Every structure is written in C-alpha cells, then in structure tokens.
Structure 1
C-alpha cells in the first residue's frame, strides 16, 4: 500500500495513494457528518445541503461549476450516507488543481441562493416520491426505521416532504457551520498524484478552513426491532428479515460480513441455492450486513409472489437456524476468497481506492493495509461463524414487507420459530 498521510495545521487530514501508471486522479472531501447527525426537525437537511453545494458559489454559478469541470472532461458528484457526506471528482492529472479549487469553492463559498433552493427542494420531493413508488427501495427505508425506531440512524436519508420544504438558506448555512470542520474531514486522492504537491494545493485552498465545530456527537444507536407491513397490490412482495448487526470496531464485524456472503452473497450461497435453485420460490434473495460506528444490522432480502410467501419464510428461517448449527470449511474458504477478490478488484478503481482510504481514516484514524485485512479474515473459523449465527439469529428480529403480504406469518410466530428447535419450522402458520 503506497498511502501517504499528512495533517494540516488546522487539523485537516490529507492522504494520497500514488498509482503512477494512471493518467487520471480520483479525489474528494469526506465529512464525518451524515443523516444521523440531524436533529428531528432537520430530517433530510444533510442530503439537501449536498445537492445545494453545486448550485452556485461566490465566483461560480451552478452552470459554471458544471462547465468548468466538464470543459476538461472531468466528472464531479456527491453522496450522503448515514454517517458521512462526500464531495468527489475525477480528472486527468494536469487538471487536478482545478478539481481541488472547485471542491474547495463549494465547501467554503456556497451561496445557497433561495431561488436555487426552491428548485432543488422540488427536485428532492420528486426523488422522495420516486422512492415511495419503488417498493424495493421503500422496503429498505421502512426496514431501518423499524429496526431503529424513533432514532436518526433509522430515518431515511431523503427526509420527508414537510421537512424538506421547510428548510431555508440560513438553516443550510447553520448546519454546514455546525457539522463541517477540518477535524471531521479528510481529503483523499488516488491515481497519478504526487503527495507533496497535493498537500500543498489543498493547504492553499483549505488550510484556513475552520478547525472545530459546535457539532454534538449523534445519539448512541439502540437496535429495537419489530414488525412493519404495508399492503399494496403488486406482482411481488418485498420482504426483509433482519437482526442486530455489529459495529465497525467490534470483534464480530468481519465475521458478520463473511456470514452474509455464506448465506446470501452469490449464486453458490445457501439461500440462493435452497430458495431459488432448489425450490424456485423467488427470483431475488440475498443477505447483507451494514456496519455503523456504534451498531450494525444484518438482513435477508427476498422478492417473491403472493402464492410463495407462506413457503418462503420457513425455508429462510430454516437456513438461518442451520447456520447456527454448522458452517462448512469450504463455505468459509469460498466466502473469504470472494471477500478478498472484491477488495482486490476495487483496488483497480482509483475512485474506490480513494473512498476506501477516506472511510478508514474517518473510522479508524489510519489506512488499513490489505495484509491486515487478510489477517483479520484468516483468523475466522467455522466454529466462530456458527456461534455468531446462533447468537445473531436468536435475537429479536425486524420484519418488513411491502406488497401482497397477507400470507406472511405473524411476527410472533416468526420470532418464536427462531428460538425454537428446528421441527417447529413445520408448524409455522399464518
């Protein structure tokens, strides 16, 4: 790993990974502030701010921001997640100073013009409507809301129509000033970049950025679990069955990632083979594990027709119970190989490399080498994964379903089955 890290006098962390064979650079500014940093009446403001950052500064209009980067063939974008917000670009090596200038410009001098704000609020209202009209998106929003009820970590990133329409330009400026400070930000570049030159250019544009903020640490997340069902007349029912997962820093985080791959990470996974290939109960079924700084969530998502729901759920529950009894060494080896290949393939993309380094710096305070990641994976055993499964899937579940879900078993029956001996599966009824 050819990663170099420097810290400016204001506390801003600057990192690079030099890939000398590339003629381009992927770079960005990552901020340790996302949707969970919002107060209840700010729901959706982090995402709106990300949109508004491209709508004009003191020296560039919204059109000029777009044309300046595209005149040199570059790309620029941004993204908001639960715990971070990122502003990033990709340009040819010679155009790196321009990209740094534009990113610094939108972070230090965004106007948040009221007319532009009104237009962008309308755009986000359409985005919220589109998400609601897309069941396989909506079910994930309802899933996190149910798992972390009445908590910022569980709220949708987009906000609600009422909150989004309520925001004003002063509120956006206020949120930016409270949440964006050098000590909570990292600037990372990967590609044909020279570290010292990059640090100097970032220092020129962001070296005077405010050091600290008045931001209050987000409330500690508390997994609740529960049941949410929304009846819609659709062809398929979207169903997620979830459990409390593991935070980035805890011992079982990587074990949970690997377990999700064994259960539903590919065509050879247990759920895909049993649910789709052997029984033909649905087109799509997979498992996932999301980690946050203080908690996590493990889930299984399936899309199935009305007539197959009654059979599908006992089959999924059976596979979860089996994982608590036995994990095969071949399954563990295959999942490790998949995980390693995914990491190695992502290293071929400078944008992925920059994002990965930024995430590690924000979470761990340092870049994590591939060798260290592989050491963590090599320490996993089949006994440890089976033990994790038994603990994970005996906790209170989160059940979320949208569509023709009348045949879905009651929540209590699902919970009882997960804590019962395996023969109980045959008795699961609506």
Structure 2
C-alpha cells in the first residue's frame, strides 16, 4: 500500500502530488508543501539563493503585498512559515479548517507566482546579511557551518545555507525568477494536508491553483556527496569552546538509519545518555553534549557536539573517543530498551498532531514514494537488536579519521592531533 487507508493521493499532470490525511473530529488543519530542492542544488555562484528566494516570495505574490499575505492568514487566526535546508524547502500553514482553501491559494502563489520586485530584493538582501552576521555571532550555531564545510569541502553541502554577502550581491530579480522556476519544479513538490478536512474539498481547492503550472525538468539530482575529513579551528574573544566532530553516516534510504538513530540516542540523546552521564555528570567536562544524525538521500552524517571550557577540550575529546569505542563494542540491553521507548514515544506523539503528521507524510512520500504505517515503523524499531548497534557503532568508531570544527577562545590549545587520532 502506497498510503494509509484513510488517506487520498492525487497526482496532477505536471507531477505535483497532493496527499490528504483526514483526522476526523479536528477543527484545525496543517499544511506542508515540501519541495525536493534546497541549498544542495545551488552552484557555488548561487550559494544562498534558495534561502533568499524563500524570503523573497513572502515579499509579494500574485498581486498581494507582503502585508497582504501576512494579514490574509493571520486575519483568520492562522500561521504561516517556511524553511530552507540542504535538500528541501518547506512552506507550512496551520489554522482553522475554514482557512484551508485560502492557505492553498497563498502557498501555491508563493511557489509559482512570486513578484520578486527589485526594490524589495535590495532590502531583503540586507535582511539576509544581518541573518548571516547573527549566525556568525552565535558560536554554537556557526560551529556547525564550520563542521559542514569540513565534512563536505568544495561541495554545495559544505557551503552555508544562508550563503555569503558576496554570493548574494549579484542576484537580480530575473535571475531569481529563473532560479525559482527551476527549483520549484512541480514534480519535485508534495503538498500534504492533515486535520479536519475532506479529501475532495482539498483537491477542488488546489486543482485550479496548480493545473495551469507547466511541467518542467527542474534541477534533477544534485551531485553525489563526498565525505571529507578536514579540521577547522577558529579562535575568537569568547569564553566557551564549541566542539563538533563529524563521521560519515547513512542515508535516509539505508536499512541502518533506525539502528543508527537508536545508537545516537544511547550515546548522546538525553540526560541518561552515556556522554551526558560521563562528560557532564561524572566529570564536569561539558555544560552541554549530544550526538546527532543527519541523513541525506545518498549518504549522511553522524556527529557529536559539546560546549566546554577551553582547558577541557583535550580531555573531553579523549573521553568522547573512549565512550564511543566502548558503546560500539558493548551496548547494554537496558540502554537499547530505553532508546526504543524514547523513539516510540516520539513516534506516537507526532502521529497524534496534525502539523507533525503532515510534515512526516510529505517527507516520506517525497523520499520513498509511499507513506509508512505506525505498525511498520514500530516493527522496524522493535526489530533492532544489540548486534545492530554494534554494527552501526563499529562503522562509526572504525573510521580512520573524522571531520571536526572547534570554535573557542584565543587561549585554546591546539588539539588537532587528538582529532586526527
């Protein structure tokens, strides 16, 4: 089965897919328009354009001004938002069921009928430049940009999603419109609506908004990722050291994605995790420490972040290496059960909320071409054993070297040898 029994899937002639996910009894809905297109699809000269475009479509579309767009949604109590990632751009609306037709109208206008005025573009470039500076001024944010560039040197995945002042400066309205037409190709878009909605009514509201949009090739697949293991160190006049370590992980499509997420939960997923207990509780080496997985369609990342005193960077790196090695060789059954319980709780809580449901289903349909039932996902979680954790953990700990980024005070010592070990 491609979708759940209660759902309805429509595919328009231009390739855009609409998934309607009724939740009887709800007075509200959530809409997610997911575009398989983001910063990873940019050339070096286009760095930051996908994010800038996401900003610009809100400045005016289909005859509505920026104020008109905001007031149209908020006048009926709704909210609208958008985000740009490396592989996806997402537009979201939440509100009462009566807002649904207008929400579909506005979202499709943003994607297919943006104005992109020259004066607005000049102003918005300044806004994005401030956003870039804000990210730079936030060490525990900027360090992840440094890590990304260390893991994917010379690639679009290694450039910041926000771009740079230099890459945004030459953008013209015509160039951004052309970029939009390619990035927001209809066949790369999944619209999912969850909540107290009727499938036929959602389809009827969306059909006239998209059937006139022509099909076109879009960008196609981005260049295949290459994981690199550079080490970036940046020293500033700050007090705390921010340490990130990156290993090559697995893709969204890998059968090991759930075992690796469980491994990450045990290693650094919460207060009961090994890293938190060893680094913070037992030794006081870090204020915050956690691990994370970031999967893409053709590969992924397994990473660790820690915020600590400059003097504690070296012993903390040694401890991370020790804990990672120990967990990779001997995960405990009790830890696995706790991680499964956390995963299951998150799974069921998300399934009960319209916003999380529509976001999840849009992502699944875009990536896998199908929607997974709760029973399917729960069975995959329950099926993970200690041997699976050893396999995915050993694949991480056996990597000869890792990528890393360290951003901290000028007094920080050189720990590159430890990171290369």
TM over 0.5: yes
Is the Cα contact below 8 Å between 1:33 and 1:84 reproduced in 2? yes
Matched, 1:398 2:403: yes
Output aligned runs, 1:59-98, within 5 Å: 59-98=63-102
Aligned to 1:196: 200
State how 1:182-331 maps to structure 2 within 5 Å.
182-331=186-335
Cross-structure match for 2:393: 389
**Range with bigger deviation, 260-269 or 173-182:** 173-182
Tell me, yes or no, if the aligned pair for 2:56 and 2:124 is still in contact at 8 Å: yes
Shift of 1:100: 1.0
Pick one of 415, 418, 427 that aligns with 2:420: 415
Rounded Cα–Cα distance in structure 1 between residues aligned with 2:8 and 2:416: 51
Structure 1 CA distance for aligned equivalents of residues 136 and 93 of structure 2: 30
Q: Does the CA-based 8 Å contact 2:318-2:418 persist in structure 1?
A: no
CA-to-aligned-CA distance 1:330-356 (integer Å, 9 cap, x gap): 111110110111111122321111111
Secondary structure of 1:402's counterpart equals strand
Following TM superposition, the consecutive aligned residue runs of length 4 or more in structure 1 with deviations greater than 2 angstroms are 1-4, 404-416
Cα drift, residue 408 of structure 1? 5.2
Distance in 2, Cα, partners of 1:111 & 1:405: 47
Q: Distance in 1 between matches of 2:225 and 2:315?
A: 34
Q: Give the distance between the partners of 1:113 and 1:218, measured in 2 at CA.
A: 29
Deviations 1:281-338 (A, max 9, x none): 1110001011000110011100001222222111111001101210011111110110
Distance 1:267 1:351 in 2: 27
What is the Cα deviation at residue 61 of structure 1?
A: 1.1
The answer for the alignment partner of 1:420 in structure 2 is none
Structure 2 unpaired stretches of 5+: none
Q: Larger deviation: 115-124 or 388-397? A: 388-397
3-state SS of 1:53 partner: helix
Shift of residue 412, structure 1, vs aligned partner: 3.6
Instruction: Look up the match of 2:342.
Output: 338
- 2:314–2:418 Cα contact (<8 Å) kept: no
Conservation of the 8 A alpha-carbon contact between 1:310 and 1:407: no
Cα displacement string for residues 164-192 of structure 1 (whole angstroms, at most 9, x for unaligned residues): 12211011111111222221111110111
Range that drifts further, 400-409 or 314-323? 400-409
Q: 1:253 to 1:389 in 2, by over 3 A?
A: same
Instruction: Provide the alpha-carbon RMSD of the alignment.
Output: 1.4
Name 1:34's counterpart in structure 2: 38
> 1:177–1:213: 8 Å Cα contact kept in structure 2?
no
Please name the residue that 1:146 is paired with. Answer: 150
Q: CA deviation at 1:409?
A: 5.7
Q: Distance in 1 between matches of 2:258 and 2:32?
A: 26
Separation in 1, partners of 2:112, 2:393: 47
- Tell me how far apart the structure 1 counterparts of residues 52 and 198 of structure 2 sit (CA, whole Å): 34
SS of residue in 2 equivalent to 1:243:
strand
What residue is the counterpart of 1:165 in the other structure?
169
For the Cα contact (< 8 Å) 1:239–1:401, is it kept in 2? yes
Cα shift readout 1:198-236 (whole Å, capped 9, x = no counterpart): 112111211222222242321000101121100112111
TM-score in terms of structure 1 length: 0.94
Q: 1-side partners of 2:411 and 2:151: how far apart?
A: 21
Contact 2:235–2:408 under 8 Å retained in 1: yes
Q: Check whether the contact 1:229–1:405 (CA below 8 A) recurs between aligned residues.
A: no
CA drift at 1:385? 0.8
Indicate the SS of the match to 2:286: coil
Which segments of 5 or more consecutive residues in structure 1 lack a partner in the other structure? 417-430
Q: Is the 8 Å Cα contact of residues 85 and 161 (structure 2) preserved in structure 1? A: yes
Once residues 409 and 253 of structure 1 are traced to their aligned partners in structure 2, the CA distance between those partners, rounded to angstroms, is 34
Q: Which residue of 2 aligns with 1:358?
A: 362
How far apart are the structure 1 equivalents of 2:185 and 2:314? 52
1:57 to 61, 71, 82: 61
Question: Secondary structure at the residue paired with 2:314?
Answer: helix
